[in-house]
Amino acid sequence: MALDLSNVGRREKLRIQREPHWQRLREGCFLGYRRSKRGGAGTWIARIYDTDTGKYRVKSLGDFGNLVGNKRFAAAKNAAETLAELVELGGEVQLKIETVEDACREYAQLRTEAEQRFRRYVYSDPIAKVKLSKLRKRHLKEWRARLEALPALVSRRKKGEAIHRDRAPSTVNRDMAAFRAALATVLSPGAPNSEAAWQEALKAIPNANGRRTLYLDRNQRRKLLEKVGEEAAPFVRAMCLLPLRPGALAGLTAGDFDNRTSELTIGQDKTGKARRIQLPQEAAKLFSAQAKNKLPAAPLFMQMNGKAWDKNSWGRPISTAVKAAELPIGTTAYTLRHSTITDLVRAGLPLLTIAQISGTSAEMIERHYGHLASDAAVKALGELSL
């Protein structure tokens, strides 16, 4: 039975929860209601589908507390429908950013990875409802303590017992980085050594990113490709050819590859910024085959069920192939990215160019791979002296 929010009695009997109770007004237009824990007027929310972006726009409409109970639904419904008309005409929805959650949702609209982190560590945490005007360093220190104490999930397989481990400092840094960036878009740094210095509570743990040492040479990667199943082979091969993050590769669509110029647009990545790279001949041939006869919005690399690959689906075929090829324990999809970057550095490609292709900073490349560039230079000098 469809939910009817116009009935005051039924509305006030709804369960108190973080996710609003939604009523469909028409296609692409929903009105939500969230009861107040304190017994006051609840909050009304509009959710409108934007066909231009392919995403829902969500905006808080307030509580309409100045109206009597039986008039609030009509006022909220009118506000939601007015907003829907604005979106349909291409207008910009100006969100009212008051709380930490508001800031994070606004920041994460075009940043998939940030949104996933916020869902796990922010939206369900008490800090989500703290007003930005009242946010203090102690709030963030308490949130950080809860985050660091939270076990990290190692295995996400549906079958078998879930495996957890202590959250590594590098993982904490990644989780804090997205949160810090979201707050920085709406808050200025507070005065140092004061409660207003919210940024001090989110400082990265120094020296947390250990150097990646597991490397597969070309022969080992060929063995992996020989053992991996036919379904995952194109995806794994692409990781062997380009130094992309597995998630960025999985997020590509057929429209991201320009077959005429062999250029690839990477829009869904850790940085949140789109970049365009020129593919070498072998990679371009693979991508061209994957894009053939696909609609622009279709996944460039897809499973047999038509869905894009993700970390829950690429892990099993890779781990199976690793065992069959007798490769080092601990080899993952990310090992292929590290191995490809290593080869590019050893080949003498400028570190800035490698950083641009792989979607990271030159500083990170220098930190983790700079010693390889030095080794390559020493080798080159030795060859010159022969």
Please report which confidence band the pLDDT of residue 348 belongs to, taking 50, 70 and 90 as the band edges. confident
Total Cβ atoms within 10 A of residue 80? 23
Q: What is the pLDDT of residue 53?
A: 76
Phi-psi region of 326 (alpha: psi -120 to 50; beta: other; left: phi over 0): left
Q: What percentage of the chain has pLDDT greater than the value 70?
A: 86
Mean pLDDT, to the nearest integer, of 145-153?
Answer: 85
Residue limits of CATH 1.10.443.10 in the chain:
218-384
Q: Is it the case that residue 51 has pLDDT exceeding 90?
A: no
Q: What is the pLDDT of residue 299?
A: 93
Q: What is the pLDDT of residue 386?
A: 37
- CATH fold label, 8-88: Double Stranded RNA Binding Domain (3.30.160)
- The residues, any chain, with a CB within 8 Å of residue 263's CB and separated by 6 or more, are 257, 276, 277, 278, 279
H helix or E strand, kind and range, residue 265: strand 263-266
Q: Is it the case that residue 212 has pLDDT exceeding 70?
A: no
Please give the Cα distance from 69 to 384 (Å, whole number). 86
Q: What is the pLDDT of residue 159?
A: 57
> pLDDT per residue over 7-25, tens digit each?
888 888 888 887 889 999 9
Q: Say if CB 166 and CB 174 are below 8 A apart.
A: no
Arithmetic mean of pLDDT over the chain? 84
Total Cβ atoms within 10 A of residue 197? 15
Q: What is the pLDDT of residue 381?
A: 44
Residues linked to residue 276 through DSSP beta bridges, in sequence order? 265
Q: What is the pLDDT of residue 216?
A: 92
The more confidently predicted of residues 323 and 351 is: 323
For 317, what's the count of Cα atoms within 13 Å in the CB-facing half-sphere? 20
Please report which confidence band the pLDDT of residue 164 belongs to, taking 50, 70 and 90 as the band edges. low
Q: What is the pLDDT of residue 55?
A: 80
Q: What is the pLDDT of residue 125?
A: 92
Mean pLDDT, to the nearest integer, of 301-325?
Answer: 92
Please give the Cα distance from 147 to 179 (Å, whole number). 12
Residue limits of CATH 3.30.160 in the chain:
8-88
Instruction: Give the range among 86-100, 125-139, 190-204, 334-348 with minimum mean pLDDT.
Output: 86-100
Q: What is the pLDDT of residue 96?
A: 65
What is 218-384's CATH number? 1.10.443.10
Q: Is it the case that residue 93 has pLDDT exceeding 70?
A: no
Is the C-alpha dihedral spanning 146, 95, 113, 20 positive or negative?
positive
Please report which confidence band the pLDDT of residue 175 belongs to, taking 50, 70 and 90 as the band edges. confident
Please report which confidence band the pLDDT of residue 268 belongs to, taking 50, 70 and 90 as the band edges. low
Mean pLDDT, to the nearest integer, of 369-382?
Answer: 59
Phi (first) and psi of residue 34, to 5 degrees: -120, 120
Q: Is it the case that residue 235 has pLDDT exceeding 70?
A: yes
- The DSSP code sequence of 196-234 is T-GGGGGPPPTT-SPPP-----HHHHHHHHHHS-TTTHH
Mean pLDDT, to the nearest integer, of 39-46?
Answer: 82
Q: Say if CB 274 and CB 265 are below 8 A apart.
A: yes
